[in-house]
Amino acid sequence: MSIAAVERDCGLPKDTLRVWERRYGFPNPLRDRHDERLYPADQVATLRLLRRLVDAGHRPGKVVGRSDEELSGLLRRLDVSTPQAIGSEAQQVLTLLAAYDAVRLREVLNAIVLRAGLGAFAATIGPGLAGAVGAAWSRGELEIHQEHLFTEQFTSVLRSAINAAQGAGAPRGRPRVLFGTFPQEPHALGLLMAEAMFTLEGCIGISLGVQTPIPEIAAAARAHGADILALSFSSTFPAPQAMTGLAELRALAPETVEIWAGGACPGLRPKAGCLVFRELSAIAPAVGAWRARVAEPASEAHP
C-alpha cells in the first residue's frame, strides 16, 4: 500500500506519516525497488487505531510505537468511559448491519421516525444510533462498508422525513436558516439532523452542503437574506480551526446574521457573536427565543 493510499485510508497526511516514522520509528514500511514506502496491511490497521486514539485526545508521542494490544486496551477504556447505554433500537440496527440487511434497516429506521416523531429521532435517537455504529466500528465489529451502508440509509430516511415535514403545515417563514460546514468538514449527518430540527420549527431552511469556503458562506448569507447561519462540527474537527473559522465568518457575514454552531467537536466554545449548541434539542427553544427577540424591537420589517 503506497503512502498516498494510506493517507486516504487513515486520514493521516503524508508529511505526518513520514515524520512519525522519523521520530518514533513507526510506521516502519517496506520499500519497493525505487525506495518508495510500501505499508503492510497490519501496519495500516495499527495506524487506523492510532488515528482514533489521537482524535480522542491521546498524544502521538505517548501512543505511537506501542503494541496493538495496548492500543486496543486504550480504545476499550475510551469506549466504556463513553457511557453509551445501547438501547434496543441500536442493538437492532447493529444486528441488521451485521447481516447486511439494507432493506430491513431502512424499514426499521422509517418505523422509528414514525413512532418517535422526527424531533426525537433527529435530536436523540439519531445521534445515539450514529454513536453506537461509530463505536462498533472502532471496536472492529463492523467494516467500513457497513458504516457507509448505515450512513446511506440514515441519510435517505432523514431526508425523506425532512422533505415531508417541509410540505406539511404552514411554514412560519422567519427565521431563514442557512446550513453548511467548513471546508475541512465532510460529515453531513449532523447538518442534516440540525436541518430537521429547524424545519420542525417551521423555519425556511436552505442547505449549502458540506465543505463550503468561509467567504462563500458569508456571501451566501448576504445573498439569501439569511437570519441564522447554522454550522456543524463533528468530533474529529480540530477545535482551534473551528474557533478561527468562526471568527473569520463573524467578520465577513452581515452583522444582523446570527451564527449558531453545534456538533460533537470537543473544543467548541461560545464566542462574541456566535452561539454554541451542545444538544440538538436546544434548537427548538432557541428558535422561539429568536422570534421573541426580533418581534419585540419591531424595527425589522418583513422584506
Partner DNA sequence: AAGCGTATTTGTCCAGGACAAATAGACGAA
Partner DNA sequence: TTCGTCTATTTGTCCTGGACAAATACGCTT
Binding segment for a copy of itself among 25-33, 54-62, 201-209, 261-269 (CB under 8 A)? 201-209
Instruction: Build a one-symbol-per-residue string for 179-218: x at contacts with DNA by CB under 7 A, - elsewhere.
Output: ----------------------------------------
- Distance (Å, rounded) from C-alpha 300 to C-alpha 295? 8
Per-position DSSP letters for 264-301, written without gaps between them: S-TT---BTTEEEES-GGGHHHHHHHHHHHHHTT----
Per rule CB under 7 A, count of chain residues that contact DNA: 28
Residues in 264-303 that interact with DNA by CB under 7 A: 267
DSSP H stretches of helix in 143-213: 144-167, 189-200
Place of cell 487505531: 49
255: cell is: 452583522
Which of a copy of itself, DNA, none does 224 bind, CB closer than 5 to 8 A by kind? a copy of itself
Is residue 168 a contact residue for a copy of itself (CB under 8 A)? no
Contacts (Cβ under 8 Å, ≥6 apart) of 185: 210, 211, 232, 233, 234, 237
**Considering the complex, what minimum distance in angstroms separates the CB of residue 208 from DNA?**
24
Nearer of residues 131 and 238 to DNA, judged by Cβ: 238
Cell 468511559, located at residue: 81
Interface residues with a copy of itself (CB under 8 A) are 5, 8-9, 100, 102-103, 143-146, 148-149, 151-152, 155-156, 159-160, 162-163, 180, 183-184, 204, 206-209, 211-213, 216-217, 219-220, 223-224
